[in-house]
């Protein structure tokens, strides 16, 4: 037979009293917030959402700008010695930004996406000089190249950090 009261349960098989399991106390809002903020994976999820959405927002206009705009974007390959297929390379840059941004958000094919986005951002940095007027100053170049260069650094960092636990892809 089993005998129970509010403090212990005695089983006839072993005869030893077992303490009753206490229900965990609910967390206060402050404790819950502290627990969420202590989660590295939640921070990585927010980073992936913000940066991925930004890249999608940069990639979509490349498709909406038509062939001429894709050609202008693809002209970046001229800076590394490739002087053909500018529309194709512009299309690839747009695809990397849109699909890569989506993969960042999901956390799937994460490191491949980060590496591809690093390359696209380095090429964007190189092309900033081409968009400046003939009498540009060093500070003009720094200000125009700062954004794609910093994005390249963010993607390079994300490549090493990984997607975190809250992702489709498990490390």
Q: Give the mean pLDDT of 14-35.
A: 75
> What single string gives the DSSP state of each residue in 119-132?
HHHHHHHHHTTTTS
CA distance linking residue 147 with residue 132, whole number of Å: 15
Half-sphere exposure of 52 (CA within 13 A, CB side): 21
- Given this model, what pLDDT does residue 157 score? 97
- Given this model, what pLDDT does residue 14 score? 60
pLDDT (tens digit, 9 = 90+) per residue, 25-76? 888 888 887 877 778 888 999 999 999 999 999 999 999 999 999 999 999 9
Share of the chain above pLDDT 90, in %: 56
> Any bridge partners for residue 11, and if so which?
2
pLDDT (tens digit, 9 = 90+) per residue, 123-154? 998 888 767 777 788 888 888 889 999 999 99
The reported pTM is 0.76
Half-sphere exposure of 15 (CA within 13 A, CB side): 0
| Contact assessment for residue 42 and residue 166, using Cβ atoms and an 8 Å cutoff | yes
């Amino acid at each position: 037979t089993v005998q129970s009261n509010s403090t212990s349960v005695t089983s006839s098989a072993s005869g030893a009293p077992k303490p009753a399991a206490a229900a965990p106390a609910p967390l206060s809002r402050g404790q819950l917030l502290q627990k969420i903020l202590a989660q590295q994976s939640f921070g990585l999820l927010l980073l992936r959402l913000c940066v991925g959405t930004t890249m999608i927002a940069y990639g979509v206009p490349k498709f909406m700008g038509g062939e001429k705009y894709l050609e202008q974007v693809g002209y970046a390959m001229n800076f590394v010695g490739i002087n053909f297929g500018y529309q194709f390379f512009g299309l690839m840059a747009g695809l990397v930004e849109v699909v890569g941004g989506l993969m960042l958000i999901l956390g799937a094919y994460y490191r491949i996406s980060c590496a591809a986005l690093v390359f696209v951002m380095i090429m964007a940095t190189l092309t900033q000089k081409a968009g400046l007027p003939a009498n540009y100053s060093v500070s003009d170049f720094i200000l125009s190249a700062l954004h794609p260069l910093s994005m390249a650094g963010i993607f390079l960092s994300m490549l090493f950090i990984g997607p975190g636990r809250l992702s489709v892809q498990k490390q």
